[in-house]
Amino acid sequence: MSQKSLKGTWSQAIGTFLLPIFIVFFIRWLLVEPFVIPSGSMIPNLLVHDHILVKKYSLGIKVPFSDHWIVRWRRPQAGEIVVFKFPENPDIFYIKRLIGLPGDEVSIKGNGQIFVNGKEWTLKSIPNEFDKLDDTFKYFIENSGRETHTVRFYDLPNSIDTHQLVKVPPGHYFFMGDNRDQSSDGRVWGTVPEKYLVGPASVIWLSCENTLTSVSYLCDPLEIRWKRLFKSVQ
């Protein structure tokens, strides 16, 4: 009688231990996964130490621990902010705004003004409401024709007389940062294979100015950016 009771206790203990692990694995594999913004390439829309959730289910389902799609329900749309594996080192994750879809021709004028298949992503100047103590940058509302978002430049977008043309290959995507003059993106390292897409960013669930000195990956509770909590990523 006591042996049966002991076996029952062990099986229950193992089940209790494994069930939460399975639930966490299932959520991160199929539904959402948390990421932390490490750089300023997406300022002003994403700041360093923003903690975001990425909708992995949005694009489809992958085989666990691989880059192979089991099923796809949709392509990401131009203008979405997407997390992906860095093509030159797939162990590193990047986050940028999607500019060019497979087959698109992207023309980049000046230091970041965009034309996709000949159609301009228009820019409308706006006042600096992001850092009133620093007038170094200029801010614009960029309109892709499908959605609008904010971008920033050191100077006016056409102030640099350069022109770059990117033809996005089949099965690839072209990304750029919203902080146009401070972003290492597709203009430097090219396009991203479809297999490396993770999912679109959804919401900022935590944000802070600095992390703890003793534990660098944890937010300092005294420096939480309260106004950014549960803000949608756009």
DSSP 151-216: EEESS-TTSS--EEEEEPPTTEEEEE-SBGGG---HHHH--EEGGGEEEEEEEEEEEBS-B-SSST
CB 99 within 8 A of CB 142: no
The number of distinct structural domains making up the chain is 1
Task: Using alpha carbons only, give the angle 60, 61, 66 rounded to the nearest 5 degrees.
Answer: 130
Q: Quote the pLDDT of residue 159.
A: 64
Task: Give the pTM.
Answer: 0.88
| 124-152 residue pLDDT tens | 999 988 887 678 899 999 999 999 999 99
Note down the domain range covering 186.
Answer: 2-232
Catalytic residues: 41, 96
Q: Quote the pLDDT of residue 1.
A: 46
> Comparing 46-50, 158-162, 203-207, which segment has the lowest mean pLDDT?
158-162
Which CA distances in Å does 108 have to 13, 157, 162, 215, 225?
59, 10, 8, 41, 34
> Comparing 1-5, 57-61, 180-184, 220-224, which segment has the lowest mean pLDDT?
1-5
- CATH number of the domain residue 57 falls in: 2.10.109.10
| 178-195 residue pLDDT tens | 999 999 999 999 999 999
Q: Which residue has the higher pLDDT, 42 or 215?
A: 42
Q: Quote the pLDDT of residue 99.
A: 98
| 33-59 residue pLDDT tens | 999 999 999 999 999 999 999 999 999
What is residue 17's DSSP assignment? H
